[in-house]
Amino acid sequence: MSHVKAMRTAIAARVRALREPPAGPHETRGASIVRPVVFGATDGLVCNLSLIMGVAGASGAAGQDSHAIVIAGVAGLLAGGFSMAVGEYVSVRSQRELLEYQIDLQRHQLHHTPEQERGILREIYEAKGLSWVEADLIVRRIMRDPERAIDTFVREEIGLSAETMGSPVAAGLGSLCAFALGAFVPLLPFLILGGGQAAFALSIAASGIALFAVGLGVSRLTHRRAIWTGIRQAGLGGLAAAVTFGIGSLLGTAVH
């Protein structure tokens, strides 16, 4: 129970932090969650739309075999969602394990070979354009605090940071929910209308609108042109769906 309570507290704290206004124009504290969510939603839309279009094309008449389409869509939603969740969790968890190993290793090196580590950090700052005297002054001040020194070495020498990694659980759950939501969009018309040309057309239209909306959301984060980003998302998703529909049609003709 204490572990579950601690996890809830950590998630609530992260959500509160994300809702706070950014501290500056370069604020990126939400990147660790935004990336898997955006990627999951896009992947869910494109993957399940392509799968549904492929099955529809193979059925011989677009959207007529609603039973096969629904089964394929639900299977794609579940399999893709859990695959995304596991993949994101393992990826972020592995990064954190690597970070923990590097922190322990750096702590060991600072304890046994401090002069060597001081020289390495000095060279890093010299490579950034500081003089030897300036770099040495900064390094000496950093080395006064062992924990700050470890954090600096991990960031500067190895390029790892706990702040940009985020939580493995949050990344996994975010990917799962986003993928499932995206994958549900092209499936919903077949669940409501029960197949046919209307469900087929509505599935394409709804997926295109959803992909365009995801593109608009991405543009708010990247500060790129909103319309172009939305069109790019929708266009690439539509291209993938068209290719799988064509391949499905060819396979369906060959099998029949």
pLDDT 10s per residue in the chain (256 long)? Answer: 555 555 455 545 554 544 444 444 444 445 556 667 778 888 999 999 999 998 888 876 555 668 888 999 999 999 999 998 999 899 888 988 888 888 888 888 888 888 888 888 888 888 888 899 888 898 888 888 888 888 888 888 777 776 667 788 888 888 899 999 999 999 999 998 877 888 889 999 999 999 999 888 878 777 788 899 889 989 999 999 899 988 888 876 655 5
* Cα separations in angstroms, 159 against 103, 104, 151, 152, 154: 12, 15, 10, 10, 6
Q: Which two three-digit tokens encode residue 256?
A: 């029949």
Single-letter code of the amino acid located at 42: T
pLDDT at 251: 79
> In whole angstroms, what is the distance from residue 173 CA to residue 15 CA?
14
Contacts of 238 (CB under 8 A, 6+ apart): 204, 208, 211
Contacts of 58 (CB under 8 A, 6+ apart): 248, 249, 251, 252, 255
> In whole angstroms, what is the distance from residue 57 CA to residue 252 CA?
7
Cβ atoms within 10 Å of 150's Cβ, excluding its own: 20
pLDDT at 19: 47
- The SS3 of residue 27 is coil
pLDDT at 206: 94
Do the domain assignments include residue 21? Answer: no
Do the domain assignments include residue 132? Answer: yes
- The pTM assigned to this predicted structure is 0.72
Structurally, the chain folds into a number of domains equal to: 1
How many residues can be counted in the chain?
Answer: 256
pLDDT at 189: 92
> In whole angstroms, what is the distance from residue 87 CA to residue 175 CA?
9
Contacts of 110 (CB under 8 A, 6+ apart): 117, 146, 149, 150, 153
The number of CA neighbours under 13 Å toward the Cβ of 193 is 18
Span 173-229, pLDDT tens digits: 888 999 999 999 999 999 988 778 888 899 999 999 999 998 888 787 777 888 998
Residue showing tokens 């029960």: 194
Query: Domain range holding 153?
Result: 34-255
* Cα separations in angstroms, 112 against 90, 122, 145, 242: 33, 18, 16, 61
Contacts of 135 (CB under 8 A, 6+ apart): 122, 123, 125, 126
Do the domain assignments include residue 207? Answer: yes
Q: Which two three-digit tokens encode residue 73?
A: 């869509």
Do the domain assignments include residue 101? Answer: yes
- The SS3 of residue 28 is coil
pLDDT at 169: 86
> In whole angstroms, what is the distance from residue 214 CA to residue 97 CA?
32
Do the domain assignments include residue 197? Answer: yes
Do the domain assignments include residue 133? Answer: yes
Do the domain assignments include residue 14? Answer: no
Residue showing tokens 């994958």: 183
